[in-house]
Every structure is written in structure tokens, then in C-alpha cells.
Amino acid sequence: SQKIEQNSEALNIQEGKTATLTCNYTNYSPAYLQWYRQDPGRGPVFLLLIRENEKEKRKERLKVTFDTTLKQSLFHITASQPADSATYLCAANNAGNMLTFGGGTRLMVKP
């Protein structure tokens, strides 16, 4: 079955460093991937979308890559700040063109 996997362990980094989160997909080839941010007890907020024919997408301090050979997307936050601490969700379209979500990775940025 189609699966989206993210590292379930929390990622702890120091303020100012670059955070890199990984999203792997198996058993299919999505046409696009989306990344969302979710704060505790709140709904996810859309950050970026990248299509299969795009290698990289940037928005301010955020960068997303899409490697169809490795079946992987990387999400980078440069010059990270404590305010970036949240859970980040990866989602990909599935065969029915709905979104399949990964379990999310919690990022903690320490001052």
C-alpha cells in the first residue's frame, strides 16, 4: 500500500542551525508533495508544495527538495529560530488524488 514515512523521533537543534526533515514514500510515485506545520492542539498550516518535475522549491528560510529516484523529499529550515519549533507534516497525493499524510516530525529549536 502507499505509504508516507517521516522520522517519528523529535529533531533537536540549536538556534541558527539548519534543520533538515525527511519524508520517504513507498509503493507509488506521487505527482506532488506538500509540507505543513502543526502547532500543538491546532490544525496544520500549509507551507510549500513541490511537483515531481521540480527539484527544489524555496520560500524565505524554507527549502524543499523532491528526489524521485530516492523517493524522498527533504525539508530545510535555515537559520532556525525557537519559533520554528513545531511538528512538520509531509503529504503526497495518492491514487484517488486525495492526500496521504506522514506521521510528522517534531522539531525543537533550542536558544
Partner 1 sequence: DGGITQSPKYLFRKEGQNVTLSCEQNLNHDAMYWYRQDPGQGLRLIYYSQIVNDFQKGDIAEGYSVSREKKESFPLTVTSAQKNPTAFYLCASTQQGASGSYEQYFGPGTRLTVT
Segment contacting partner 1 by CB under 8 A, of 11-19, 46-54, 68-76, 78-86: 46-54
Cβ contact 106:10 at 8 Å: yes
Q: Looking at beta carbons only, is 43 or 111 nearer to partner 1? A: 43
CA atoms within 13 A of residue 49's CA, in its CB half-sphere:
9
Query: Which listed residue (21, 86, 89, 109) binds partner 1 by CB under 8 A?
Result: 89
Q: Looking at beta carbons only, is 83 or 98 nearer to partner 1? A: 98
* CA 107 from centroid of its chain's CA atoms: 11
Minimum Å distance from CB 86 to partner 1?
Answer: 14
d(CA 76, CA 63): 5
CA atoms within 13 A of residue 30's CA, in its CB half-sphere:
30
Give me the residues paired with residue 101 across strands.
91
Give me the residues paired with residue 45 across strands.
37
Asked if 31 touches partner 1 (CB under 8 A), the answer is yes
Other Cβ atoms closer than 10 A to 67: 12
Asked if 28 touches partner 1 (CB under 8 A), the answer is no
Segment contacting partner 1 by CB under 8 A, of 11-19, 61-69, 70-78, 91-99: 91-99
Residues that bind partner 1 (CB under 8 A): 4, 8, 31-32, 34, 36, 41-46, 49, 51, 89, 91, 93, 97-104
